[in-house]
Amino acid sequence: MTSTRTQGDHDLVVVANRLPVDRVVGEDGETTWRRSPGGLVTALEPIIQQYDGAWVGWDGGSDGPEEPLEQGGMHLFPVALSPQEIEEFYEGFSNGTLWPLYHDVVAKPGFHREWWDSYVTVNRRFAERAAAEAADKALVWVQDYQLQLVPAMLRELRPDLRIGFFLHIPFPPSELFVQLPWRSQILEGLLGADLVGFQRRGGAQNFVRLVRQRLGHKTHKDLIYLEDGRTVAAECFPISIDVAELEKLSVSDPVAERAQQIRSQLGEPRKLLLGVDRLDYTKGIYDRLRAFGELLEEGALSVEDAVFVQVATPSRERVDEYRRLRDEIDRLVGRINGDLGRIGRPAISYLHSSYPRDEMAALYRAADIMVVTPLRDGMNLVAKEYVACRHRDDGALVLSEFAGAADELKQAFMVNPYDINGMKAAILEAVDAPPKDLTKRMKAMRKTVRSHDVSDWAEEFIGMLKQARPDHRKRLRPSKLLA
C-alpha cells in the first residue's frame, strides 16, 4: 500500500465524530447551526479556539455538504454520513456496541458484522479527511470511541504526523473488552497513535495489559514497544471544564436574577434538587428519581419544601434502548407527580430540552443539591460545572463513586447508584447538612476544580504529544485491517 501525501495547512487538527455544531435544516430549507450535545464538545471548543486549529467531524445530518466552514472562530471540516452509515456506524457499532460495552455492559451490546464493516469504512473516511487538512508534521488529536481505528489508518496515510488519541468514556476491564469480536483490530487501531489518553489510571492500565496479553507487545509501565521501533505511551489525563468562563457567567447579574426567578417560579422551595444529563441509560436517572419519590412517599421530604428539577437532553433517540429509557422515565415522572404532587407543587419538574450556557449556569446557581448518579461515566462534566458555579462555597454535590469525577471531588456526598437506600440516605444527609459542613466541602472541591481546568488538560496532552519521538519516518507494517 502506498501512502497518499495530500496535505493541508493546519498545525493542529482535532478529529471527532461530531463537529461542535449540528446543521439543522428548517422547513423553509434554511440552514442554521446548533451547539452539539455532550461533554466532548464542551471540553474541546475552547481549546480549538485558542489554538486556531481545524476540527474534522460529522454535522449530525445525513448526506450533508462537505465544504469547510467557519463557526465561532473555528475552522470546521465536515465529514458526510449516509443514512445507512448513521444507522450502522453511529447508532449501531458506536452506540449499540461500544457505548454499552465500555460502560460496564449496563445494557446488552449488539455484535453485528455489518455494523463493524460500516465502522471501518467511516473511520477510513475520517482518516482521509484529517490527512488532507494536516500540515507537514502537524499534531492530530483523534477523539473518542467512535474513531478508534483512525490513528492507525492516519499513520498509514501520513507517517510524518504526531498522532494523539483521547478516550472520553471509560476503557473497560479486559474481561469485558474481550467479548468484542474485533478486539484485536481496535487495539491495533489505537496503537497507530503516539499517545493514547484515558480519563482514569485504571483505563490506561487495562489498555496496556490488553496489548501485552492479546497482541504480545512488550510493555513497561505506561509504555508499549512495537516491533517497528515505535513507542506508544498510555497515560491518564482527567478532563475538565472552562472554569473561568463558567465562573464569569455564574456571577453575572442576569444569571443571578434568572436563578432567583427559577426559585420563585418553583414556589421558593426550601431545597431545590437538580439533575442534568443527556437522556442516557448510563446516567442513573431512573433510580435517582425513584429514590427521591420514595423519600416523598415516606414523608422524609415533602413537596411543600423540596422539588427535584431534572433536565434530560434528548439523545440518540432512534436507538431502541434510548427510546425505552425515555418512555420509562416519562412514566415514572408521571406516576410520582400524579401520586405525590399538589396543585402548583409538582414533585419533579422534568425538562426535556437543551439550554444555552447562561441558563445552565442559572440552574446550577439556583440548586441547593446537585444529584449526579451515573452507573458508570468517563468523567461527568456536569459535576464539575456545578462546583464551578458555587462561588459562595455553598450547595451540596451528591456524586456516584462510578463517575471519573469521584477521583477528584472527594468531598462530595458519595453514593453507590445501585443502592437506592444508600442514595436516599445521602440525599437526606445533604439536605440536613449544617451550612458550615457544606462550605468546607465546597471550598475544597472548588479549589480542586480551579486548579486544573480544561486548558491545563489540553496543554498536558498536547505538551506530551509534542515530545513524541520523530521516528515516524519508519513506515508501519500494513496491518490486516488496513491492507
Of the candidate residues 8, 39, 78, 293, the single one contacting ligand ADP (CB under 6 A): 39
Closest CA to 351 of 340, 362, 342: 362
CA 242 vs CA 86, 356, 361: distances in Å? 31, 15, 13
Return the number of the residue (55 or 99) whose C-beta is nearest ligand ADP: 99
Smallest separation, CB 123 to ligand G6P (Å): 14
Buried b (16+ CB within 10 A) or exposed e, 355-387: eeeeebbbbbbbbbbbbbbbbbbbbbbbbbbbb
Question: What is the rounded distance in angstroms from the CA atom of residue 286 to the CA atom of residue 88?
Answer: 28
Binding residues vs ligand G6P (CB under 6 A): 17-18, 37-40, 144, 168-169, 315-316
Residue with cell 430549507: 29
Helix (H) or strand (E) holding 177: helix 174-177
Q: Is 379 in the site for ligand ADP (CB under 6 A)?
A: yes
Return the number of the residue (133 or 280) whose C-beta is nearest ligand ADP: 280
Question: What is the rounded distance in angstroms from the CA atom of residue 279 to the CA atom of residue 324?
Answer: 11
Smallest separation, CB 239 to ligand ADP (Å): 8
Question: What is the rounded distance in angstroms from the CA atom of residue 394 to the CA atom of residue 259?
Answer: 14
Q: Where are the beta strands (DSSP E) in 211-270?
A: 218-220, 223-225, 231-236
Single-letter amino acid, residue 64:
G
> What percentage of the chain's residues is helix, strand, coil (to nearest 5)?
45, 20, 35
Smallest separation, CB 41 to ligand G6P (Å): 7
Smallest separation, CB 249 to ligand ADP (Å): 11
Of the candidate residues 219, 354, 448, 455, the single one contacting ligand ADP (CB under 6 A): 354
Helix, strand or coil, per DSSP, at residue 195:
strand
Smallest separation, CB 183 to ligand ADP (Å): 24
Q: Is 87 in the site for ligand ADP (CB under 6 A)?
A: no
Residue 379, contacted partner among ligand ADP, ligand G6P, none, CB below 5-8 A by kind: ligand ADP
> Which residues make beta-bridge pairs with 35?
21
Return the number of the residue (249 or 396) whose C-beta is nearest ligand ADP: 249
Return the number of the residue (233 or 279) whose C-beta is nearest ligand ADP: 279
Residue nearest to ligand G6P (CB): 38
Smallest separation, CB 128 to ligand ADP (Å): 27
> Which residues in 221-280 contact ligand ADP (CB under 6 A)?
276, 278
Residue 311, contacted partner among ligand G6P, ligand ADP, none, CB below 5-8 A by kind: ligand ADP
Interface residues with ligand ADP (CB under 6 A) are 38-39, 42, 276, 278, 311, 313, 354-355, 360, 379-382, 385
